[in-house]
Amino acid sequence: MARVAVEAAGVSGFDLMYRRWRRLPGCPPVPFTLGEDVVGRIDKLGPGVSTPTVGQRVAATTWSVGFGGGYTESICLPVTDLVSVPEGVDAAVATCLVANYLTAHLHLHRYGRAKPGERLLVHGAAGGVGSAVLELGRVAGLEMFGTASRRNLPVVSDLGAEPIDYRSEDFVARIAELTGDGVDVVVDPVGGARQLLRSYRALRRGGRLVWLGVAATRDGGLGVGFTSIVLVSVLRRLPGSRSVPDTPDVGTHALAHPDWCRSTLSELMDLTASGSIRPLVAERFPLADARAAHERLERGGHAGKVVLVTDTYRRVA
């Protein structure tokens, strides 16, 4: 094990759900600490551990040590979970790579099987995960479309996608108008039966609908999750060439495939250090203002990931 002096910790839609709905499966009894990704510097090693070394900058998920734990100044993690963070990459920026970019990579490449030149539609395209999918889609040479609320349409454009206002435009009609026969992959972190059905209708022959989240619970409540599960199970039974792959969540996948998790996160660190991707930090909040960070995420309209930063971050930044 190694002890990490945390500089930055991610805040996510997942955190909001477990704070609001404590009867969700997997939620531990209160009190518990949220937070599934951290970046910091090793300040102490456990007995018998010599690598990595004290002082090294690292990033990690908290998935292997139980539920959450990332909203903290100090955390002990298995050294096998730690991935080096290049000096020069801001800790808040590096935090975006951990849960969000791993999620984006998994859903775009492994589940969505996106190939260069294919068309991609991303919902919640300015959000933490959505913006990460667009960044990786650009690197993969995809033709991209993204839905967002009006104020974030320029953000979606800057990320290399044709923006669609999800509140005032019908995205199925707009995709048909822009492409003729639809897209090859839809990545949908929004969920809800109507939304998922429309995402499916935006697919061309051979297309894949990759459902990964229920951001629509923000406005629609927990029922969104239930109707999404029912609709997806119906869509999976439909005949035809369009498909809805099974999409185990990123934590489950990472625990089953720790080598994938480490190598993908290292690759993402290199892409960031070289400037090939530029993860978006929506806003940095002091750790003690976690409540304000949650309120910010709940208000919506943010672009990128909301991040908590500690005093250590403010000393080194």
Ligand X SMILES: NC(=O)c1ccc[n+]([C@@H]2O[C@H](COP(=O)([O-])OP(=O)(O)OC[C@H]3O[C@@H](n4cnc5c(N)ncnc54)[C@H](OP(=O)(O)O)[C@@H]3O)[C@@H](O)[C@H]2O)c1
Q: Binding string to ligand X for residues 29 to 68, with x set by CB under 6 A, is what? A: ----------------------------------------
From the CB of 132, what's the least distance to ligand X, in Å? 8
Residue 162 binds ligand X (CB under 6 A): no
CA distance 134 to 113: 15
Residue 126 binds ligand X (CB under 6 A): yes
Interaction residues for ligand X, span 179-198 (CB under 6 A): 189-190
Contacting ligand X (CB under 6 A), which of 40, 70, 127, 207?
A: 127
Structure tokens at 61: 């998920």
Interaction residues for ligand X, span 277-306 (CB under 6 A): 297, 300-301
From the CB of 268, what's the least distance to ligand X, in Å? 15
Contacting ligand X (CB under 6 A), which of 129, 231, 232, 287?
A: 129
Number of residues this chain uses to bind ligand X (CB under 6 A): 31
Residue 124 binds ligand X (CB under 6 A): yes
From the CB of 131, what's the least distance to ligand X, in Å? 8
From the CB of 152, what's the least distance to ligand X, in Å? 5
DSSP string, the chain: -EEEEEEEEEE-HHHHHHHH-TTSTTPPPSS----SEEEEEEEEE-TT--SS-TT-EEEEESGGGSS---SSSEEEE-GGG-EE--TTS-HHHHHHIIIIIHHHHIIIIIIT---TT-EEEESSTTSHHHHHHHHHHHHTT-EEEEEE-GGGHHHHHHTTEEEEETTTS-HHHHHHHHHSS-EEEEEESS--HHHHHHHHHTEEEEEEEEE---TTHHHH-THHHHHHHHHHHHHHH--SS-B------HHHHHHH-HHHHHHHHHHHHHHHHTTS--PPEEEEEEGGGHHHHHHHHHH----SEEEEE-HHHHHH-
Q: Which is nearer to ligand X, 1 or 172 (CB)?
A: 172
Interaction residues for ligand X, span 227-266 (CB under 6 A): 249-250
- Of the candidate spans 51-59, 109-117, 212-220, 267-275, the one that interacts with ligand X by CB under 6 A turns out to be 212-220
Interaction residues for ligand X, span 131-150 (CB under 6 A): 148-149
Q: Which is nearer to ligand X, 89 or 254 (CB)?
A: 254
Alpha-carbon separation of residue 282 from 28, 69, 155, 279, 315 (angstroms): 29, 22, 11, 10, 21
Task: List the beta bridge partners of residue 41.
Answer: 5, 57
From the CB of 272, what's the least distance to ligand X, in Å? 18
- Of the candidate spans 83-91, 175-183, 197-205, 214-222, the one that interacts with ligand X by CB under 6 A turns out to be 214-222
Q: Return the closest-CA partner of residue 47 out of 11, 76, 83.
A: 76
From the CB of 166, what's the least distance to ligand X, in Å? 4
Q: Which is nearer to ligand X, 219 or 259 (CB)?
A: 219
Residues at the contact surface with ligand X, assessed by CB under 6 A: 12-14, 17, 99, 103, 123-124, 126-130, 148-149, 152, 166, 189-190, 212-216, 218-219, 249-250, 297, 300-301
